[in-house]
Amino acid sequence: MTTVDEHTARILAAVAPTRARRVDLAHAHGCVLAADVRATVAVPSFDNSAMDGYAVRAADVADTSAQTPVVLPVEADIPAGPGIPVPLRPGAAARIMTGAPLPAGADAVVQLEWTDAGREAVAVHQAPRRGLHIRRVGEDVKPGSLVLSAGTVLGSAQIGLLAAVNVARPPVCPRPRVAVLSTGSELVEVGSPPRPGQIVDSNSHAIAAAVRECGGLVRRLVGVSDDAGAFIRSFYEVLAEVDAVVTTGGVSVGAYDVVKEVLTGAGSMRFDHVAMQPGRPQGFGLIEGVPVFTLPGNPVSALVSFDLFVRPALARLRGLPATGLPTLEVTVGTALRSSPGRRSYIRVRLDGPGPDGRYGPRPVAHPVAAQGSHQLTSLAAAQALLVVPEEVTEVPVGSRLTALLLGADSGSILSGMGWTDADVTDDR
Ligand code: AMP
Ligand code: MG
């Protein structure tokens, strides 16, 4: 048997980030920047007013006060917009709006609230210091400076910054396009009533959702039957169009295990028994250079396998460090057993440490009911997967173990939520 760590290492040694390309900002959102971006422009690109008010020479109003205000003639009106304002004459003021270019000669902006808001002439009640309310050229971004470094995830602020420095198509690692293909002659598509012996295909939807949570674009294939010809057609057709393939089912030792039958010997595919529970039969390899993950068919095994093996690989494909689920240290609150020689992933809910501090400061893990590999209710109810090491068979109350946190990225801005299957062919 292969260990979880060996199987993971073999996968990560084979996957590399998607090939960098330039995409427009909407498609860059949530992607990882593939190269440093340096500014070719200054931001702001011209001196401008930070307030609605009056552009003045500070020296002209240095002696003003509320009791004896200095009054200046208003010689121009400068809204935000294109154009170069006429220079400000000494002893005059120009009405100016936020974001409007500062006229040459002005060295301060008096905010509206410090004046009588006059149109022909303005009385200034308070003296501004030189430079007040002026945004100088380049005070946010200097030309030539590093704006964002390679490896940065492009969220809303980063997208805004790229636009501000006029980068319309940043270089990114495009979101990986992932084909999700479930196999099983018993499968029907959700929404159709299953006939006797049939079940609804839940894996392809669960895995598709997991791929989106990892920031991937999904191409979901409706359940493929356990027929070698049908599987070969679906598999090789989609292989040419994607950056990774995830299949479920058909990899155990039974007859009609079509995935294993067809893909044995293809590319660098290897089918292993991994020392884990749930999810023993696993396959991985590169076929025509594309990473192919063949996960077991039981719904919990499929998702747990995804979290352990596909998730870090998709992070790597996206250009991120190949990390899996976040880990946390927990105290076990209910005694449990685990099979020898296999690393167990037990579905648990987490309680707070509790007021008496009996278990120390860590969250307390309790297994949820129904831990069978086919029982999705428990995975849906669990907040974490408790990791019980291979050699441990008895876990007494109070044991300290590591758990993998579930659901941390559902709904994250980094996820590919909102994309539809059709988007796979779009300009990513
Ligand atoms: P297999 O790995 O193909 O032998 O499947 C193992 C178990 O998982 C069987 O009970 C299958 O019916 C079930 N299963 C396989 N694929 C799916 C799927 N896409 N959705 C739900 N259950 C499945
Ligand atoms: Mg099957």
| pLDDT tens-place string over residues 228-239 | 999 999 999 999
pLDDT at 223: 87
Ligand nearest to the Cα of 253, by number: 1
| pLDDT tens-place string over residues 321-335 | 999 999 999 999 999
pLDDT at 419: 42
From ligand 2's centre to the CA of 379, what distance in Å? 21
Q: Is ligand 1 within 6 A of the CB of residue 203?
A: yes
Report residue 423's pLDDT band, with 50, 70 and 90 as the boundaries: very low
Query: CA angle 233-306-18, nearest 5°?
Result: 70
Ligand nearest to the Cα of 280, by number: 1
Q: Could you write out the DSSP letters of every residue in 301-364?
A: HHHHHIIIIIHHHHHHHTTS----S-EEEEEE-S-EE--TTSEEEEEEEEE---TT-TTTTS-E
Which of 188, 192, 203 gets mutated to test ligand 1 (max ligand atoms within 8 A of its CB)? Answer: 203
pLDDT at 426: 32
When mean pLDDT is compared across 42-46, 53-57, 249-253, 292-296, the lowest value belongs to 249-253
pLDDT at 425: 32
Q: Could you write out the DSSP letters of every residue in 371-413?
A: --TT-HHHHHH-SEEEEE-TT--EE-TT-EEEEEEPSTTTT-T
Residue nearest (by alpha carbon) to ligand 1 atom 15 = 297
| pLDDT tens-place string over residues 124-153 | 999 999 999 999 999 999 999 999 999 999
From ligand 2's centre to the CA of 59, what distance in Å? 84
Q: Mean pLDDT score of the chain, rounded to an integer? A: 94
Which of 182, 220, 231, 248 gets mutated to test ligand 1 (max ligand atoms within 8 A of its CB)? Answer: 248
pLDDT at 418: 41
| pLDDT tens-place string over residues 183-194 | 999 999 999 999
pLDDT at 422: 37
Report residue 357's pLDDT band, with 50, 70 and 90 as the boundaries: low
pLDDT at 360: 73
pLDDT at 118: 98
Ligand 1: atom nearest CA of 251 is 2
Whole-angstrom CA distances from 335 to 50, 350, 359, 377, 398 are 64, 14, 13, 21, 8
H helices present in 114-227, as ranges? 156-164, 203-213
67 against 360, higher pLDDT: 67
pLDDT at 354: 67
Classified as helix, coil or strand, 24 is: coil
pLDDT at 87: 98
DSSP 141: B
pLDDT at 415: 53
Report residue 428's pLDDT band, with 50, 70 and 90 as the boundaries: very low
Ramachandran area for residue 261 (φ above 0: left; ψ -120 to 50: alpha; else beta): alpha
Q: Is ligand 1 within 6 A of the CB of residue 202?
A: yes
Report residue 222's pLDDT band, with 50, 70 and 90 as the boundaries: confident
Residue nearest (by alpha carbon) to ligand 1 atom 17 = 297
Ligand 1: atom nearest CA of 281 is 2
Q: Is ligand 1 within 6 A of the CB of residue 301?
A: no
pLDDT at 408: 81
